Amino acid sequence: MINLKWNFLCRQVRLAAAARQMVPVFIAITAVLGSLHAGETVRLFDGHSLKGWEGDPAHWRIQDGVILGEIPPGETLRKNTWLVWKGGELADFDLRLQVKLTGLPGANSGIQFRCQVDNYDHVSGYQADLDMGTTWLGRIYDEHGRALLVERGSRVHIEADGKRRTWIFAPAQQYTVLFRENDWNDYRIVAVGERVSVYVNGTLFSELLDQQTNERDITGSLAFQLHSGPETRVSFRNIQLEHLNANDGRLPPFKVADQVEADDSDVGVVPSGNDGKPLNLGFEDGTLNHWTATGDAFQNQPVNEDGIASRWAGQVSNKQGEFFLGGFEIIGDRGRGTLTSSPFKVTHAYGSFLVGGGENTSTRVDLVHIENDGKEEVVFSAAGQNREQMRRVAVDLRRLKGEQIAVRVVDENPGAWGHINFDDFRFHDEPPVIAEPTSAWRTIRNPLLHHLVPNKPQTDSHEPGSETASQMFVPDGFAVDVVAAEPDLHQPMAFTFDGRGRLWVVEGHSYPQKRPPGEGLDRIVIFADNDHDGHFEERKVFIEGLNLVSGMEV
**Mean local confidence (pLDDT), 127-132:** 95
Q: Report the topology of domain 291-428.
A: Jelly Rolls (2.60.120)
| DSSP designation for 462 | T
The single-letter DSSP state of residue 399 is G
Query: Residue 486: exposed, middle, or buried by beta-carbon count in 10 A (0-12, 13-18, 19+)?
Result: exposed
CA dihedral 480, 483, 489, 494 (to 10 degrees): -60
Helix then strand then coil, % of the chain, to nearest 5: 10, 40, 50
State residue 426's pLDDT score.
94
Q: What is the pLDDT of residue 554?
A: 84
The pLDDT tens digits of the residues spanning 66-105 come to: 999 999 999 999 999 999 999 999 999 999 999 999 999 8
Burial of 23 (0-12, 13-18, 19+ CB in 10 A): exposed
The residues, ordered by sequence, that sit 6+ positions from 372 with a Cβ below 8 Å of its Cβ are none
| Nearest CA among 79, 84, 74, 86 for reference residue 25 | 86
Residue with the bigger pLDDT between 2 and 194: it is 194
The residue ranges of every structural domain in the chain are 1-35, 38-243, 291-428, 483-546
Better-predicted residue by pLDDT, 374 or 187: 187
Instruction: Let me know: does 323 contact 303? Beta carbons within 8 Å.
Output: yes
Rounded-to-integer distance, Cα 421 and Cα 390, Å: 7
- Given a cut of 80, whether residue 14 has pLDDT beyond it is no
The pLDDT of residue 337 is above 50: yes
CA distances from 150 to 16, 141, 147, 205, 241 (A): 29, 7, 9, 9, 23
Query: In the CATH hierarchy, which top-level class contains the domain 38-243?
Result: mainly beta
Q: Is the pLDDT of residue 258 over 80?
A: no
pLDDT of residue 299: 92
- Has residue 281 got a pLDDT over 60? yes
Which string of b and e fits 334-349 if b means at least 16 CB within 10 Å? ebbebbbbbbbebebb
| Res 28 pLDDT > 80 | no
State the pLDDT at residue 271: 95
* Burial per residue of 57-71, b for 16 or more beta-carbon CB atoms within 10 angstroms, e otherwise: eebbeeeeebbbbbb
Nearest Cα neighbor of 329 from 297, 352, 360 is: 297
Residue 507: band (very low, low, confident or very high) from pLDDT cuts 50, 70, 90 = confident
Q: pLDDT for 417-444, tens place per residue? A: 899 999 999 999 988 754 443 333 444 4
Share of the chain above pLDDT 70, in %: 83
Q: Which amino acid is residue 203, in one-letter code?
A: T
Residues 6+ apart with CB under 8 A from 196: 126, 140, 189, 190, 207, 208, 210
Beta strands (DSSP E) in 269-362 are 291-295, 325-326, 337-341, 344-345, 350-357
Question: Among 282, 318, 320, 358, which Cα is nearest to 291's?
Answer: 282
CA angle at residue 79 from 74 to 84, to 5 degrees?
A: 110
Q: Does this chain's domain 38-243 share its CATH topology with 291-428?
A: yes
Distance CA 546, CA 284 (A): 57
**Are the C-beta atoms of residues 367 and 352 closer than 8 Å to each other?**
no
> Mean pLDDT over all residues of the chain?
84
15 has a pLDDT exceeding 50:
no
Q: Is the pLDDT of residue 108 over 70?
A: yes
pLDDT band at 305 (very low <50, low <70, confident <90, very high): confident
The yes-or-no verdict on residue 470 having pLDDT over 90 is: no
Where does the pLDDT of residue 354 fall: very low under 50, low under 70, confident under 90, or very high at 90 and above?
very high
Q: Is the pLDDT of residue 451 over 50?
A: yes
Query: Under a CB-based contact definition with an 8 Å cutoff, are residues 361 and 322 in contact?
Result: no
pLDDT, position 193 = 95
Whether 8 has a pLDDT exceeding 70, the answer reads no
pLDDT band at 314 (very low <50, low <70, confident <90, very high): low
pLDDT at residue 447, as a whole number:
67
For residue 351, pLDDT over 50 is answered with yes
pLDDT for 6: 36
Under DSSP, is residue 10 helix (H, G, I), strand (E, B) or coil?
helix
Q: In one letter, which amino acid is 259? A: Q
Residue 262's pLDDT is 42
Instruction: Tell me the average pLDDT across 109-116.
Output: 96
Q: How confident is the model at residue 479 (pLDDT cuts 50, 70, 90)?
A: confident
Cα 422-424-426 angle, rounded to 5 deg = 130
Residues 257, 61 contacting (CB under 8 angstroms): no
* Helix, coil or strand: residue 479: coil
Please, what is the Cα angle at 207 between 3 and 99, to 5 degrees? 90
Residues 33-42: tens digit of each pLDDT: 434 566 789 9
